Structure 1
Amino acid sequence: MHRLLQIVILFILYPSLTFSNENSGQKDSLAGGRMFDADIIHEIRIQFLQCAAWDSLFVMKKERDSLSIRRYLQGNVMVDGNQYFSCGVRIKGESSFDFYPGKKKSLKIKFGEFIKKQKLDGLKTINLNNAFRDPSFMREKLYLDFMREEGLPVPRCTYANVYFNGEHLGLYLVTEEVDRGFLERNFQNKKGAFFKGEPNSTFTYLGEDQLLYEQDYKNKNESANDYTHLMELIRVINGTSGMASSDSLKIDDVFNVESCLKIFAISSLFLNVDTYNLLYPHNYYLYKNTRTKKFEWIPYDGNYALCAFSPVFNLNEAENLSVFYEHDSFDHPLTKLLFSKAEYRKFYTDYIAYLVKDKFTNRALSNEIEVLARKIRRSVYYDSHKMYSNAEFEKNIKSSIGDENDAGAFIPGLESFIKQRIKAVKKELGIKEEGNQ
């Protein structure tokens, strides 16, 4: 009743207000086109009527982390001059929340949380990422854009200057939410089993009790039967015997192996350590495509790309890390399976060879970095809440900051790291240098 009264009051005060007219007649496949394809830095203004709104957001974040209670604070949001009322806003993130100094925290905005069917350019939700540990503000953008250009199912990414109750919080990376709309746009279906890999989602076989998997694989479609499909995939990955339904299945019967290998290859080239095939078994979604009957691997989160953080390697070790590296702190049944089969190993190395010859090159990536730097430089300089100085922004484009011999204490330069990473990978795979690329 209270929400209904709010909506009525809004229509009285703003008779010309139409919450979703911008999406009328818009096909879902085009959702986000104006948000992510426009070559501009957007402006997002978040306004709350509540007193101490920031404190309330922090309380909600603690409730979510400790009690798994998910709540959004109600506020109005203006995007590029277009007003959206009664949106849901919450603080998000793990390290980007715990270790980012000051007020500039990562945020999630859900436009239809309190007013159903309200969307931004056809999108239900967007993420505002604070570029934690990235002086350049470019790592996530470069990483996600590279994979999308390779035709892989990853979130789109753009930039926005964000204001909170009139205060400029700074420059954020805006990323697409991996939700049912994302599935429809990328796979033309959205009703398959859908899971988010939480920390420790390693694909280790734990037995036949569904409860053993529910903590590490969050069911996004909330159908109890979906765990049957997930457990079948895990049995196939582990080659678990005695399970009749899985005995005759091969991994490529239930999993899009080639797409996953491409994603792992790009993660290795960019050395995004916050991924399953490197240091941390999370930051992915699994979706069972109802058209192919196979699970798809969907990565997200790229602020650690180009080794923005590693507690394990110094700079030289990171630059020269094998493309077949497996960290020994957790079991890797999926990568072990994929790298143990000759045909998959060949596909993986052939794809990496193709990338370092034609796509992941000094020339191509330096040009992209230069274009992005020109685009965001003014907004970076204007951002008084960023983690690093303007001088560190400029320096980190070319060279490292911090102690290169101390794991976790340095951040590689974008161009210098790419140059050395290409040399190391070519040497490992026996690829001849072909002039200045």
Structure 2
Amino acid sequence: MPPQLFQGAREFHLNAEYVDPSYIRNKLSFDFFTKIGSYAPRAEHVLLYLNGECIGIYLKLEAVDDIFLADRGLPAGPIYYAVNANANFSLLRHKTTEAKAALEAGYQRKLGTEADDGYLRELIFRINATPQALFAHIIKKWLDIPQYLRWLAGAVCTQNLDGFVHSYALYRHAENKRFFIIPWDYDATWGRNVNGRVLAPENLRVQGFNTLTARLLDVPAFRTQYVRLLQDILDTTFTVEHLRPHILALHDALRPYVSMDPYKQDVLATFATEPAFICAFIEERNQFLRQSLKTFQHPRSG
């Protein structure tokens, strides 16, 4: 018997947001991705009880599955979760000179069949083995370029260091046969790292990193497309004026329940200051990215 649906979902994820003193970074990130035209999971906060005992505030995250696709008008297709740093779009293991045991290393198939794995392997091979003169022509057949660049802009703005080598999902469109990238796990963002410590706003460069991103941005047309997209986002969406009302609304909605979380009493004072902290990060990050674009938008010469 197939699994039953609960509130329209077959599966969802509950994240404790343990290292995030604001509780809102994940949701703020996914809402931001949606605003800039990228696909992202829906998320909502819940106060979780287990056997009648309150165990704290959790973030209920939509699973990236066939229901996720259907809700967005996308045809069913294979989905892969990038579960570790070997999902780096490279032939080599992360931060080594050692070849991967398999091209699909780092991925876990969520939806699809073994036959679909062959397309994922082919994508990784094409990214790495296609000569630069042919790369733009070939990669457009395998990857939805505009969608990837929107994801890249979102990852760069939110400063998710992990998101370039894991913490994302890959989906292959059943009709146009191109791969889409979908963000996942964005609590280490908006000025804090994976340990919750402060991260300088200039810590992640404007071009991000990973093999696929580097090869895409080495194509002048794709580079120009990315620069224009990011400039527009910096002008309209990634601004304190645009994001502050949403940040305050999320923070205010959680405020009455934070003291009920038995595992995060030590962050109550920090929680109160997080909206101002995040807004300051946005201002400084926006300025850093604008300054970086002045030199990045021109291809290397010589």
1:258 corresponds in structure 2 to: 146
Aligned residues: 285
Find the aligned partners of 2:135 and 2:211 in 1 and give their Cα distance. 17
Which deviates more, 127-136 or 194-203? 194-203
Give 1:429's match in structure 2, choosing from 266, 288, 293.
Answer: 293
Pair 1:193-2:78 in alignment: yes
What do residues 283-311 of structure 1 show as CA deviations (whole Å, max 9, x unaligned)? 11111101211111111111111132168
- The Cα of 1:426 is off from its aligned counterpart by 1.6
Pair 1:334-2:220 in alignment: no
Q: Is the 8 A contact 1:135 1:387 kept in 2?
A: no
Give 2:202's match in structure 1, choosing from 275, 295, 319.
Answer: 319
1:386 corresponds in structure 2 to: 264
Q: Which AA in structure 2 matches 1:223?
A: T
- The Cα of 1:168 is off from its aligned counterpart by 0.2
Identical amino acids, percent of aligned pairs: 29
Partner SS, residue 111 of structure 2: coil
Q: Which AA in structure 2 matches 1:195?
A: Y
1:170 corresponds in structure 2 to: 56
Find the aligned partners of 1:137 and 1:211 in 2 and give their Cα distance. 38
Find the aligned partners of 2:235 and 2:192 in 1 and give their Cα distance. 24
Q: Is the 8 A contact 1:319 1:417 kept in 2?
A: no
Q: Which AA in structure 1 matches 2:288?
A: A
Partner SS, residue 175 of structure 1: strand
Give the structure, 1 or 2, with the largest relative contact order (CA under 8 Å, sep 6 or more): 2
Find the aligned partners of 1:385 and 1:139 in 2 and give their Cα distance. 18
- The Cα of 1:320 is off from its aligned counterpart by 5.8
Find the aligned partners of 1:248 and 1:421 in 2 and give their Cα distance. 30
Which deviates more, 227-236 or 288-297? 227-236
After superposition, residues 106-185 of structure 1 pair within 5 angstroms as: 116-185=2-71
Pair 1:216-2:109 in alignment: no
Find the aligned partners of 1:137 and 1:346 in 2 and give their Cα distance. 36
1:286 corresponds in structure 2 to: 170
Q: Which AA in structure 2 matches 1:396?
A: E
- The Cα of 1:184 is off from its aligned counterpart by 2.2
What do residues 145-183 of structure 1 show as CA deviations (whole Å, max 9, x unaligned)? 011122321100111100011110111111101112112
Stretches of structure 2 lacking an aligned partner (at least 5 in a row): 93-99, 296-302
Against the structure 1 CA distance between its residues 267 and 388, is the aligned structure 2 distance closer, same or farther, given a 3 Å change threshold?
Answer: farther
Against the structure 1 CA distance between its residues 227 and 378, is the aligned structure 2 distance closer, same or farther, given a 3 Å change threshold?
Answer: same
- The Cα of 1:240 is off from its aligned counterpart by 4.4
Against the structure 1 CA distance between its residues 420 and 247, is the aligned structure 2 distance closer, same or farther, given a 3 Å change threshold?
Answer: closer
Q: Is the 8 A contact 2:103 2:124 kept in 1?
A: no
What do residues 105-124 of structure 1 show as CA deviations (whole Å, max 9, x unaligned)? xxxxxxxxxx7342112200
Find the aligned partners of 1:173 and 1:387 in 2 and give their Cα distance. 18
What do residues 197-228 of structure 1 show as CA deviations (whole Å, max 9, x unaligned)? 2211122237xxx9713542222235221122
Against the structure 1 CA distance between its residues 247 and 344, is the aligned structure 2 distance closer, same or farther, given a 3 Å change threshold?
Answer: closer
Partner SS, residue 160 of structure 1: strand
Against the structure 1 CA distance between its residues 158 and 314, is the aligned structure 2 distance closer, same or farther, given a 3 Å change threshold?
Answer: closer
1:376 corresponds in structure 2 to: 254
Pair 1:273-2:161 in alignment: yes
Against the structure 1 CA distance between its residues 134 and 150, is the aligned structure 2 distance closer, same or farther, given a 3 Å change threshold?
Answer: same
Q: Is the 8 A contact 2:47 2:56 kept in 1?
A: yes
Against the structure 1 CA distance between its residues 373 and 293, is the aligned structure 2 distance closer, same or farther, given a 3 Å change threshold?
Answer: same
What do residues 6-54 of structure 1 show as CA deviations (whole Å, max 9, x unaligned)? xxxxxxxxxxxxxxxxxxxxxxxxxxxxxxxxxxxxxxxxxxxxxxxxx
Find the aligned partners of 1:422 and 1:306 in 2 and give their Cα distance. 11
Q: Is the 8 A contact 1:143 1:270 kept in 2?
A: yes
Find the aligned partners of 1:249 and 1:336 in 2 and give their Cα distance. 16
1:29 corresponds in structure 2 to: none
Greater Rg by CA:
1
Give 1:225's match in structure 2, choosing from 104, 115, 128.
Answer: 115
2:95 corresponds in structure 1 to: none
Q: Is the 8 A contact 1:288 1:295 kept in 2?
A: yes
Find the aligned partners of 1:368 and 1:301 in 2 and give their Cα distance. 19
Against the structure 1 CA distance between its residues 233 and 226, is the aligned structure 2 distance closer, same or farther, given a 3 Å change threshold?
Answer: same
Find the aligned partners of 1:174 and 1:216 in 2 and give their Cα distance. 24
Which deviates more, 421-430 or 334-343? 421-430
Find the aligned partners of 1:240 and 1:284 in 2 and give their Cα distance. 24
Find the aligned partners of 1:320 and 1:238 in 2 and give their Cα distance. 27
Stretches of structure 1 lacking an aligned partner (at least 5 in a row): 1-114, 327-331, 399-412, 432-437
Q: Which AA in structure 2 matches 1:287?
A: Y
Pair 1:297-2:181 in alignment: yes
Find the aligned partners of 1:384 and 1:319 in 2 and give their Cα distance. 34
1:238 corresponds in structure 2 to: 128
Find the aligned partners of 1:320 and 1:130 in 2 and give their Cα distance. 26
Q: Which AA in structure 1 matches 2:119?
A: H
What do residues 355-387 of structure 1 show as CA deviations (whole Å, max 9, x unaligned)? 111111111111111111111100112222226
What do residues 250-280 of structure 1 show as CA deviations (whole Å, max 9, x unaligned)? 111111111111111111111112211xxxx
Partner SS, residue 305 of structure 1: coil
Partner SS, residue 58 of structure 2: strand
Structure showing the higher helix proportion among its residues: 2
Q: Is the 8 A contact 1:236 1:249 kept in 2?
A: no
Q: Is the 8 A contact 1:201 1:217 kept in 2?
A: yes
Q: Is the 8 A contact 1:272 1:307 kept in 2?
A: no
